[in-house]
Amino acid sequence: MKKPVALLTLFLGLLIAFAAPAQDAKPKKEKAKKEKAEKVDAAKDAKAQAKADKKAAKEAEKVAKTDAGKDAAKAAKEQAKADKKAAKEAKKDAKEAADDKITKADKKAAKADAKMKDDAATTKADKKAAKADKMEAKADNKMAKASSKAETKASPADYKAPVDRSMKGPNGEQVMTGPRGGKYYINKNGNKTYLSSLKD
């Protein structure tokens, strides 16, 4: 039983290994290499064109040395200068195209930094205003509390805790309800002793 299972497993493994199509693991790198090669080719073409223009300019200078070809040589020289300038601009444009992606990212980062600085300045001003408002509200609350305390001040003689007649303390004391709802009784020393909430 073990041999047929082992043979089938081996056969299946070999089948998968040899029949599986090869996959391209790094297509992005190839694309980047291709773009880089295109840029290099464009730069080489621009250099070759510049060389050809230079050679033509030299030949035009030779012709210009003759009396009859001086005017033609001048025009050819100007043409060579223009061609050289155009080649230089083409090379510069190719370089700018490569740097353009980086420049765009830098501009976005600069905009984000400027926005963050503006937000920080606005936030500081907002914090100062909020702090001033908070101080005013605090002062108003203090004044309101002071006026309400002056108006209704209860004395201990006026307040009597409600007595819970259904409950008794451990020695038969009256159980009362406190201001926050807690149940207590007065012990033999005259102190309040609160009952646990589990007995309720």
- The predicted pLDDT at position 200 comes to 44
Report whether pLDDT(42) > 70. Answer: yes
- The predicted pLDDT at position 136 comes to 82
**56 and 80 in contact (C-beta within 8 Å)?**
yes
- The predicted pLDDT at position 63 comes to 66
For 107: left if phi > 0, alpha if psi spans -120 to 50, otherwise beta; the answer is: alpha
pLDDT averaged over every residue in the chain: 76
Q: Please provide residue 176's backbone torsions phi and psi, each rounded to the nearest 5 degrees.
A: -115, 160
- The predicted pLDDT at position 147 comes to 61
Domain boundaries, the chain: 33-148, 163-199
- The predicted pLDDT at position 191 comes to 92
pLDDT class for 149, splitting at 50, 70, 90?
low
pLDDT digits (tens, 9 = 90+) for 129-142: 778 888 888 877 77
- The predicted pLDDT at position 128 comes to 78
What percentage of the chain reaches a pLDDT higher than 90?
4
**163 and 169 in contact (C-beta within 8 Å)?**
no
Average pLDDT of the segment spanning 168-183: 88
Report whether pLDDT(2) > 60. Answer: yes
pLDDT class for 66, splitting at 50, 70, 90?
low
Q: Please provide residue 11's backbone torsions phi and psi, each rounded to the nearest 5 degrees.
A: -60, -45
pLDDT digits (tens, 9 = 90+) for 78-127: 888 888 888 888 778 777 766 665 666 677 777 777 677 666 666 777 77
